[in-house]
């Protein structure tokens, strides 16, 4: 049966190899999910993960400027798992595409992209840059560049903007039916020569099979013998390849983790903060099943948007936390992207204020991450549901926790290239070490995708816990995701630490109110110190408390550009005895004395009323303000 299946697969490959050559454009675009198309000219994704065009003018972010494309049902946007979307034109009519960018006159920009192919026509491809009426052409020779190599051969060039808008035009995209693949175009302000993220190789256009002018009697016989031998060799090779690929898949994630810290993109910034070196290994499913009592529900210690966390014990007595990715109908593509992004990001993270990853397991459909277990649990539990006999978190502990979270975020935002935006900083995702003075480790990188320096967002998913989420991200979607969103979340977390109050509470029947609104009201009324957790009594420094609250409120400014970055926050926490002169109370409310950010919340808003609710929705394409 296996041989028969392999034979069918081989026949399919042979058939595909004689199909008409295709012209592929691989363009970096956010990922769609089924049923979430809201753009004119698109239909919803069908069950196969495709969406068809009904207009030639609405490729998101790109416009076909020369030639025509006959969009029919066979010419679709196709989404390989974890890759960008591809436009399959199937013909040779698309002459060029263009993209407009907002630029600053006089500023330098770097463009990086992948270009590959095996055209039968001219191998010279052109990228045209139009700046305020002037045009500059850059040519690239792809004679010896195959599609399989494109992940290793990014094209990079620089230009200086002369106007507030710049247009990039790719020309000569097709030649006699065989076009190149253009992949992941990134524009970065500055000339740092970024390396565009690798994309999954796309099969190149297959060359047409030569047809002899005449057929002899010997030719078919020899051809039949050679074809039979080739078929047997192909079947043997296919069997070996399947075994190799299964083994390779199990080890590839571990390789990512072991080599992640060596990634050359990390060399752009020298880490300035302490780095931990946790052990990493590949766990077997049998090990983890035994350690968690077959993932018994009594061992559940946490739940996230994509998985459940179990407590486990290894044979050597080590206590671990195992995150098990759940399978949900209709969300396989999202889960796959989440898993790959999480492993890649975690494999590069080494810091004492980030929960260390001990290893991974990919076996029999299970995808598991193994972390260090924290006996003291989360900050959320410690603040709002302390165990019997547990002392109140001291002022020194609270400040040390805030500084630890701050250091972890500084590392994610500044010491990794591209930076990582956590997206879901909250008390439940801060784990406490078992030290004399509590230290904090940031957990749950479930959808902490790498954010490209150029501002291109690789995810359209809005993920987080509503009361902690920055308003521009919550309402505007992933187009507004920046490190300043984490700054906002940190501000809410810091207020929660200082006050001991939940981030959303019921002030009277039917009315819920954010902690930020309470803090603003107390500040305006000159009662700022009443915000401090009364359980502390007088065991805190009054000046420190006042200035810490000012730092937290500065992080909660409605305008993200007015918020400090995490490095600035870290400096203010270190020098908190110096009054924060940058704090401006007027930033927190409008001229009429109210703020849309921190206004009262109706109890009918169930998501806001529940401190632990998370949001996971597909954002629309929104142009950043």
> Could you list the active site residues?
424
Question: H or E stretch including 478?
Answer: none
How is residue 115 written in tokens?
């270009």
Tell me the Cα Rg of the chain.
28
Which of 307, 457, 463 lies closest to 371, judged by CA? 307
CB 325 within 8 A of CB 335: yes
Report how far residue 69's alpha carbon sits from residue 50's, in angstroms, rounded to the nearest whole number: 18
Report how far residue 327's alpha carbon sits from residue 340's, in angstroms, rounded to the nearest whole number: 15
**Longest Cα–Cα distance in the chain:** 103
311 annotated as belonging to a binding site for a ligand: no
| Complete DSSP assignment for 479-506 | GG--HHHHHHHHHHHHHHHHH---SEEE
Which residues are CB-contacts of 339 (< 8 A; sequence separation ≥ 6)? 306, 325, 367
Question: What does DSSP say about strands 281-282 and 357-363: parallel, antiparallel, or unpaired?
Answer: parallel
How is residue 201 written in tokens?
């190789």
Cα pseudo-dihedral 79, 85, 87, 90, rounded to 10: -40
Question: H or E stretch including 470?
Answer: none
Report how far residue 223's alpha carbon sits from residue 212's, in angstroms, rounded to the nearest whole number: 13
Question: H or E stretch including 247?
Answer: helix 218-260
Report how far residue 181's alpha carbon sits from residue 168's, in angstroms, rounded to the nearest whole number: 16
Q: Could you tell me which residues are annotated as the binding site? A: 323
Q: Could you tell me which residues are annotated as the binding site for ATP? A: 323
């Amino acid at each position: 049966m296996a041989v028969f299946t392999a034979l069918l697969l081989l026949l399919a490959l042979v058939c595909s190899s004689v199909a008409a050559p295709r012209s592929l454009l691989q363009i970096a675009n956010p990922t769609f999910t089924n049923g979430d198309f809201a753009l004119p000219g698109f239909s919803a994704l069908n069950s196969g993960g495709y969406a068809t065009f009904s207009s030639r003018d609405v490729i998101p972010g790109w416009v076909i400027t020369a030639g025509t494309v006959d969009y029919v049902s066979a010419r679709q946007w196709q989404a390989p798992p974890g890759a960008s979307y591809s436009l399959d034109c199937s013909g040779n009519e698309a002459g060029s595409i263009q993209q407009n960018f907002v630029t600053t006159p006089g500023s330098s920009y770097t463009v990086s992209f992948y270009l590959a192919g095996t055209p039968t026509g001219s191998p010279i491809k052109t990228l045209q840059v139009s700046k305020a009426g002037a045009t500059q052409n850059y040519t690239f020779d792809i004679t010896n560049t195959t599609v399989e190599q494109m992940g290793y051969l990014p094209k990079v060039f620089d230009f200086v903007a002369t106007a507030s808008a710049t247009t990039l035009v790719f020309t000569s995209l097709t030649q006699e039916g065989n076009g190149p693949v253009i992949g992941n175009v990134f524009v970065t302000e500055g000339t740092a020569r970024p390396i565009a993220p690798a994309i999954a190789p796309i099969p190149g256009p297959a060359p047409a099979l030569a047809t002899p002018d005449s057929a002899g009697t010997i030719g078919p016989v020899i051809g039949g013998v050679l074809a039979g031998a080739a078929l047997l060799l192909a079947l043997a090779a296919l069997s070996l390849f399947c075994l190799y690929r299964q083994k390779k898949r199990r080890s590839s994630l571990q390789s990512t983790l072991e080599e992640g810290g060596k990634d050359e993109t990390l060399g752009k910034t020298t880490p300035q903060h302490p780095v931990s070196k946790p052990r990493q290994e590949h766990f077997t499913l049998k090990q983890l099943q035994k350690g968690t009592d077959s993932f018994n529900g009594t061992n559940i210690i946490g739940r996230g948007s994509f998985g459940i966390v179990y407590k486990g014990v290894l044979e050597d007595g080590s206590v671990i936390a195992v995150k098990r990715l759940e399978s949900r109908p209709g969300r396989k593509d999202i889960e796959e992207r989440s898993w790959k992004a999480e492993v890649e990001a975690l494999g590069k993270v080494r810091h004492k204020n980030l929960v260390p990853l001990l290893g991974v397991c990919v076996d029999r459909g299970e995808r598991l991450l193994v972390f260090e277990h924290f006996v003291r649990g989360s900050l959320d539990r410690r603040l709002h549901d302390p165990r019997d006999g547990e002392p109140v978190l001291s002022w020194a502990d609270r400040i040390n926790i805030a500084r630890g979270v701050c250091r972890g975020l500084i590392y994610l935002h500044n010491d990794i290239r591209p930076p990582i935006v956590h997206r879901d900083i909250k008390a439940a995702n801060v784990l406490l070490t078992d030290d004399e003075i509590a230290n904090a480790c940031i957990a749950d990188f479930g959808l902490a995708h790498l954010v490209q320096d150029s501002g291109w967002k690789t995810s359209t998913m809005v993920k987080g816990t509503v009361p902690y989420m920055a308003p521009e991200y919550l309402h505007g979607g992933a187009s507004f995701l920046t490190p300043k969103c984490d700054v906002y979340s940190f501000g809410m977390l810091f207020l929660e630490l200082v006050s001991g109050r939940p981030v959303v509470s019921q002030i009277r029947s039917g009315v819920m109110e954010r902690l930020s609104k309470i803090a603003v009201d107390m500040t305006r009324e000159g009662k700022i110190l009443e915000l401090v957790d009364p359980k502390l009594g007088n065991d805190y420094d009054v000046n420190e408390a006042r200035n810490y609250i000012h730092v937290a409120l500065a992080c909660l400014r409605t305008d993200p550009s007015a918020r400090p970055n995490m490095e600035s926050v870290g400096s203010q926490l270190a020098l908190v005895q110096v009054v924060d002169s940058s704090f401006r109370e007027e930033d927190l409310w409008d001229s009429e004395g109210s703020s849309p950010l921190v206004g009262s919340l109706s109890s009918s808003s169930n998501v806001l009323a529940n401190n632990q609710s998370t949001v996971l929705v597909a954002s629309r394409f929104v142009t950043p303000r």
